[in-house]
């Protein structure tokens, strides 16, 4: 079962209301996505911590319904 890009975006925006989220379906199969997430919530956090925050926002969907997510996080400019 695949996960819709809109569901991924909603989960991330629920956790980071200020976030700018750009989701791309890499394979057209609803299973392999890239996500660019920009949020002030990442201030003072390492890249690993930022990614952990996003994975946490996905509420256990990674590795299950959501097979693969290439993740890029950043602070607003």
Number of domains in the chain: 1
Cα separation, 18 vs 38, in Å, equals: 8
CATH code assigned at 17: 3.30.300.90
Percent of the chain surpassing pLDDT 70? 96
Question: Is it the case that residue 12 has pLDDT exceeding 90?
Answer: yes
Among the listed residues 27, 41, 39, 40, the one whose alpha carbon sits nearest the alpha carbon of residue 70: 27
Q: What is the pLDDT of residues 47-77, one digit of tens each?
A: 999 999 999 999 877 767 777 889 999 999 8
Q: How many residues does the chain have?
A: 77
Q: pTM here?
A: 0.89
The pLDDT score that the predictor gives to residue 42 is: 98
List the Cα angle 72/56/42 in 5-degree steps: 50
Residue numbers of the domain that contains 48: 5-74
Q: What residues have CB less than 8 Å from 23, skipping those under 6 apart? A: 5, 8, 9, 33, 34, 35
């Amino acid at each position: 079962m695949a996960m819709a890009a809109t569901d991924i975006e909603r989960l991330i925006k629920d956790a980071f209301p200020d976030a700018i989220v750009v989701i791309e379906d890499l394979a057209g199969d609803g299973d392999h996505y890239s996500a660019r997430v920009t949020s002030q919530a990442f201030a003072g956090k390492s890249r690993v911590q930022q990614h952990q925050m996003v994975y946490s926002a996905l509420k256990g969907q990674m590795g299950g319904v959501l097979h693969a997510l290439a993740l890029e996080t950043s602070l607003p400019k």
